[in-house]
Structure 1
Amino acid sequence: MSSFLKKLDWFTVLLYALLVFIGWLNIYSASYTGEAGSILNTSSYYGKQLIFIIVSICLIILILSVEAKFYERFAGIIYLLSLLSLAGLFIFGKNVNGATSWYAIGGMTLQPSEFAKAATALALAKFLSDIQTDIYSFKDLLRAFVIISLPALLIIPQPDPGSALVYACFFFVLYREGLHPLYLLIGVFAVLLFATTLLYGTVWVFLGCALLLGLFYYFLKRKKKKVSIFQLVLILITATIFSYSVDFIYNNVFEQRHRDRLSLWLRLEDDPAKLEYIRKTIGYNTYQSESAIGSGGLTGKGFLEGTRTKGNFVPEQHTDYIFSTVGEEWGFVGSSVVVVLFALLILRLLFLAERQKSIFSRIYGYSVASILFFHFAINVGMVIGLLPTVGIPLPFFSYGGSGLIGFTILLFIFLKLDANRINEWL
């Protein structure tokens, strides 16, 4: 046991502990009422979160006690159970804030989508590490897409598009394992097409794509490189069809609250006065969050001294908008410290992933880093107004048992795999 503990990456454990502790302090501040009470008060958010932290520590001990090969050997079964848990929500799920994403167990709720990320990472690592899998084969690539897509397809109708969006991060993992960059470019191009269609309409999108493809054809001809006009025309037709489908997706797939958030983010409203009204109503959370962060200045107002935090100006401040508490009470300096801690954690995970001798461990490590990066980037971008509100928690920070436990399981499975690696880093 002592030899195993020596192999455990304690730097990552330290980063995890710091993020959890700082997160708890901010949950305490966001939910503090001014009355002295026990930190174990289960009627408060900080009391409940402390219990979740204790449960997470117990799970860490359990995860590190299990044989490392268990996670690879039973990856398929774990993935299948996660799919069943997501499908079961449509029958046994509890509706909370318009989404059927939780199971009610006694007085507690459990969100299976938080655990499905680790299960999907294990399944993808198992599949891609198989000696018979060829990432350059369209058949195997399609299977990898299916593994990634199935949980997302079960999460979208709950509806919880924010949690489903996270599964796009696995394309970074596929890219590391040999996926052609063209697929990533197609994904970026699709997002740009979606946004520009909402902003300018299909006709302008068609003309813009035709101009770009025309310039691309001219450039290649000048370089005396072969180019197929048929392929360029096919790309133009595909882009136009996708652009035509945007209105249907926007009006029939998205709910009104999602349309409102996109409308606010893309500034689809031309009237400045009405846009400001929308910003203060539909975008009330983000508006108040930006104000709270801006009021923090360089060094912040001090712990428990945030006036907007104390006044409950920011809705859901203890969950998705917890970073606004950091900005108001700790200022730019404190916010920078949190950002640096997350950056160090993600970079450390990438470093650990690259030193793995096992392909399974490497792929799983990249999955963990990608999931944490996606959550961190989108949540912080949402809180400071750079991205639309999509309901993605900040890892280890946001209040919630399912989130904290899910991220803890995700991270410490990899630390177990890393500590069990065959080659030691000297």
Structure 2
Amino acid sequence: MSGRSVFKRIDWLSVMLYLSLVFIGWSNIYSTTFTEADESIFNFGMLHGKQLFFIGVSFVAILIIMALEVNFYERFSSVFYLLSMLSLLGLFVFGKTIAGATSWYDLGFFNLQPSELAKVATALALAKYLSDIQTDIKRRKDQLYAIVILLIPALLIIPQPDPGSALVFFALVFVVFREGLPLFYLAIGLGLILIFVTTLMFGTIWVAIGLALLIVFLFGLKRKSYKVPIFPLVVIAIITLFFSLSVNFVFNNVFEQRHRDRFSLWLRLEKDPAKLEQIRKNIGYNTYQSEKAIESGGFFGKGYLEGTRTKGDFVPEQHTDYIFSTVGEEWGFLGTATVIILFSVLFLRLISLAERQKNPFARMYGYGVISILFVHYFINIGMVIGVLPTVGIPLPFFSYGGSGLLFFTILLFIFLKLDTNRLKESF
């Protein structure tokens, strides 16, 4: 396929949405670092200048992706996966520690975060495996292999420690569900999360009372001739009860104090107002200031470069994980709604592109892209507005970070390249 044909067939709506998010993101990074002494947007000693440089690097990467043969990504997906796992292992020897996490390689002119490369490689490897087995993944062996592909990078990233990035890999399980993994497993996962949170908030006694009432209710249905499998439900209730009993032990003995503080703040577990306020000032300080910045923006915002909390550096890490608070302060509700709409349209468009693929590898990889981007988007914005606990992951195409922008761009445009060949069942 010629270069002219590729750019003719590329989905320009997705490209325009990508460019819009990158431009708005860079504009807000500039706002967080702007001072009256700034003379040029091309000052590469400043964060906005560095981000502008990596925008250029990302555009070069797009040209390279579009120039390669479409079957290149499927053919070498296993090699990419192996190399990315080796790069994660190398961090334990050669990694650079920043903010308590050994997650980067110091390359002199910038820091490379290999977990971002691993997201792309894992999405490719999972799509390759699922397309190769040519099944609806009902066999336990196939399910196990698919989960192992996701577990390996997650287990290598957790000890860095970087639980936020590790969480993103588990999001790829939605690709496996799309390809036929029984929803029973999803129900189990969501049920365990619900029991965990419920136990922390109300205690095991109330969980036991709830389970007992549920069994009594179902037994009443059975007596009225409804076919309700009581014995399996009793077994599940007993297992659930034992899991609930283990929650407090895990919370108090496995979690670190900073993790316990985040859950205490999120679920309001601490009943002492003074202690809760102390937690808010310490571990919850970033979120508190972020909420205040967004709240101060009102409906129309204070105006570009006019955010007083942004200028005063009230929100730590505002150019990275908390960049969305700048949008809220300077552009108000209209600005935040615009960003959310842009992301939403992008996700809906990518779902549409994935569903129209004739090649299984392209479809599965497309859903991998959607899963990774959506989890980053959902958790980051939820964290910034205080409805989710603090997890250090960036907003795609928006937050400052060369590695993040480059590999999010690669992640997306590999799929857009695959989409240019969508009418063919195989590459």
- TM over 0.5: same fold? yes
Q: Paired residue for 1:37?
A: 39
Q: Distance in 2 between matches of 1:72 and 1:171?
A: 19
Q: Residue 396 of structure 1 contacts residue 407 of structure 1 at CA under 8 Å; is this kept in 2?
A: yes
Q: Distance in 1 between matches of 2:95 and 2:239?
A: 38
Amino acid at match of 1:260: D
Deviations along 1:137-196, whole A, 9 cap, x unmatched? 111111111111111111111111111111232222222111212111111111111112
- What secondary structure sits across from 2:78 in the alignment? helix
The residue aligned with 1:415 is 416
More divergent stretch after superposition (34-43 vs 404-413): 34-43
Q: Which residue of 1 aligns with 2:358?
A: 357
Return the TM-score normalized by structure 2.
Answer: 0.95
Change (3 A) 1:167 1:217: farther
What is the Cα deviation at residue 297 of structure 1? 0.4
Tell me if the contact between 2:32 and 2:311 (Cα under 8 Å) persists in the aligned partners: yes
2:213 corresponds to which of 211, 214, 217: 211
Question: What residue in structure 2 maps to residue 269 of structure 1?
Answer: 270
CA spacing shift, 1:207–1:90, aligned 2, 3 Å: farther
Given that 2:136 and 2:179 are in contact with CA atoms closer than 8 Å, whether structure 1 keeps it comes out as: no
Match of 1:378 in 2: 379
Closer, same or farther in 2 for the Cα pair 1:292/1:224, shift >3 Å? same
SS in structure 2 opposite 1:103? strand
Alpha-carbon distance in 1 for matches of 2:250, 2:160: 16
User: Which residue of the partner structure matches residue 301 of structure 2?
Assistant: 300
Q: Report the counterpart of residue 22 of structure 2 in structure 1.
A: 20
1:229-378 to 2 correspondence within 5 Å?
229=231, 231-378=232-379
What CA distance in whole angstroms lies between the structure 2 residues aligned with 1:317 and 1:263?
Answer: 23
Q: Paired residue for 1:9, among 11, 28, 42? A: 11
Aligned partner of 1:63 in structure 2 is: 65
Gaps of 5+ in 1: none
Contact 1:71–1:122 (CA under 8 A) maintained in structure 2? yes
Partner of 1:129: 131
Q: Does the CA-based 8 Å contact 1:72-1:126 persist in structure 2? A: yes
Q: Which letter maps to 1:155? A: I
Secondary structure, counterpart of 1:120 in structure 2: helix
Q: Percent identity?
A: 64
**Partners of 2:134 and 2:333 in 1: CA distance:** 50
Do 1:134 and 1:140's aligned partners in 2 also have CA atoms closer than 8 Å?
Answer: no
User: Secondary structure in 2 aligned to 1:88?
Assistant: helix
Instruction: Report how far residue 298 of structure 1 moved.
Output: 0.5
| C-alpha RMSD of the superposition | 1.6
Counterparts in 2 of 1:223 and 1:353: CA distance versus 1, 3 Å: farther
Whether the 8 Å contact between 2:164 and 2:391 is mirrored in structure 1 is yes
Contact 1:72 1:122 in 2 (8 A): yes
2:234 and 2:401 map into 1 onto residues whose CA distance is 50
Q: CA deviation at 1:220?
A: 4.7
* Structure 1 Cα separation of the partners of residues 319 and 54 of structure 2: 14
C-alpha separation between the residues in 2 aligned to 1:215 and 1:115?
50
Runs of at least 5 residues in structure 2 that lack an aligned partner in the other structure: none
Runs of 4+ deviating beyond 6 Å:
none
In structure 2, C-alpha distance between the alignment counterparts of 1:6 and 1:107, rounded to whole Å:
36
